Amino acid sequence: YAEQTVTFTVTDNASEPAPVSGATIDVNGARKRTGADGTAVFNLRAGSYPASIKKSGYTTQSATITVAGAAVNQAVTLPIAQ
């Protein structure tokens, strides 16, 4: 299988959700930070991967990313820590 593009879009849980820049996304040990628009892009082969999304001041989120024969858009809500 060829690699597929997996785009994470991270927003906060405000009533008007805003992009979260500088969040660290770890997919199976590969780490990237979100840009100003809250996105980070990985290239992954088919399979399932554990992912964690974290940033200071927010509650860390976990997800399982499943990649098959098409690009994946993964929306993540990162709750503001209380």
pLDDT digits (tens, 9 = 90+) for 10-35: 999 999 999 999 999 999 999 999 99
| Banded pLDDT at 82 (limits 50, 70, 90) | confident
76 DSSP β-pair partners: 10
Contact 13/20 with Cβ under 8 angstroms?
A: no
Does this model's pTM top 0.85? My answer is yes
Query: Mind listing the pLDDT tens digit for each residue in 42-71?
Result: 999 999 999 999 999 999 999 999 999 999
Residue recorded with tokens 């690009």: 71
Determine the pLDDT at residue 63. Answer: 96
34: which DSSP letter? -
Closest residue by Cα to residue 76 from 22, 8, 2, 27: 8
